[in-house]
Structure 1
């Protein structure tokens, strides 16, 4: 089975592209959704113990937690030590199930793939892109989003041009869904014939 790492900067259409892979019958792992899941289950008591006052109603309050860790690298490290092993276990479980299902290709949707060295754990990287104008328009249309917030998020992410340079495949979502669906079909054909690269 070939593992495709799906990534892209904010507002590029990554979630939509992941849905289209799922629509095409490909197993898709969603890193963000998995974080939500552990924040509503297995991570709650450990996070409350490490960061008192950051949970409510049996789940992690992401805003309270963020307020405690965002400007404190040591706190962020403690949080990662709690959450990362849980996320890794979910990821492994997903890959085992995908392999068992006989799928030739599986997609792992990881927003900060390059930033976290995740490209070493996949066979090929697919970067979702769009024009800078479309990207800004999409993001600024979101609730509670400001130009300042957007600039802060983009500053933490590897620039789009650099991601595209390091990608095996690029999907441009600037022109609607049909070209994306066609591109996904082409990528799946090509990926199924690729040699496995991960260790």
Structure 2
């Protein structure tokens, strides 16, 4: 079974690339969706170090969490310590299930694939790439994120040149969907 890891910076087009895989009926593991499910298992009491008034009993409101992250970017690292092992276990379950079914190709959309050191879990790492200025523009067009939160996220992600230097395949996403799709179909055909 061929395993392809799809990664890239924030708003780089990872989900658009993953959508093309799904279009070809290739199963895609979505690490962000899995991580959101993992929020139910997070021990949120660590947030009391940053805001003693926060109510952690029923989880944490995402808007409140974003505001805390903007003021205390270290929260991202503390949250990752709890979520990443959960995401990794879920990926292993996904992969095993598809191995048992005899699936030929699977993919995983993992924003921090390289930062977590998970690149060796895949036969190929595909990086969705767009210039940072365009990614920032996409963030402010699509997301309700303030500049401080975006800065905190960007500081924890590899720079474009680092990410691209570790890629087996680079999919440009700045030149339209048709251009991006032609690259995806080409590299899927090459077994890259």
The answer to whether the Cα contact below 8 Å between 2:73 and 2:152 also exists between their aligned partners in 1 is no
Please give the alpha-carbon distance, in whole angstroms, between the structure 2 residues aligned to 1:54 and 1:138.
32
Which TM-score applies when normalising by structure 1? 0.77
Number of corresponding residues: 184
The answer to whether the Cα contact below 8 Å between 2:128 and 2:170 also exists between their aligned partners in 1 is yes
**Does residue 53 of structure 2 align to residue 54 of structure 1?**
no
**1:132 maps to which residue?**
132
**2:174 maps to which residue?**
174
Please give the alpha-carbon distance, in whole angstroms, between the structure 2 residues aligned to 1:150 and 1:49.
24
The alignment partner of 1:100 has SS state of: helix
The answer to whether the Cα contact below 8 Å between 2:35 and 2:86 also exists between their aligned partners in 1 is no
Deviating more after overlay: 132-141 vs 114-123: 132-141
Please give the alpha-carbon distance, in whole angstroms, between the structure 2 residues aligned to 1:148 and 1:81.
22
The alignment partner of 1:141 has SS state of: helix
> Cα–Cα, structure 1 residues 71 and 149, in superposed 2: closer, same or farther, change >3 Å?
closer
| Unaligned runs of at least 5 residues, structure 2 | 49-54
RMSD over aligned Cα, in angstroms? 2.8
The answer to whether the Cα contact below 8 Å between 2:45 and 2:56 also exists between their aligned partners in 1 is no
| Unaligned runs of at least 5 residues, structure 1 | 195-199
- 5 Å-filtered alignment, 1:110-149, equals 110-149=110-149
The alignment partner of 2:94 has SS state of: helix
> Cα–Cα, structure 1 residues 154 and 49, in superposed 2: closer, same or farther, change >3 Å?
closer
> Cα–Cα, structure 1 residues 121 and 148, in superposed 2: closer, same or farther, change >3 Å?
same
Please give the alpha-carbon distance, in whole angstroms, between the structure 1 residues aligned to 2:91 and 2:137.
33
> What is the Cα deviation at residue 6 of structure 1?
0.7
**2:96 maps to which residue?**
96
Please give the alpha-carbon distance, in whole angstroms, between the structure 2 residues aligned to 1:61 and 1:85.
22
1:107-126 CA deviation, whole Å, 9 max, x = no partner? 11111111111112212110
The alignment partner of 1:6 has SS state of: strand
The answer to whether the Cα contact below 8 Å between 1:105 and 1:188 also exists between their aligned partners in 2 is no
1:67-115 CA deviation, whole Å, 9 max, x = no partner? 38x5557x955x5554444323311111012223322221111111111
1:11-49 CA deviation, whole Å, 9 max, x = no partner? 211111111111111111111100111224xx16xx257
- 5 Å-filtered alignment, 1:156-171, equals 156-171=156-171
Which TM-score applies when normalising by structure 2? 0.80
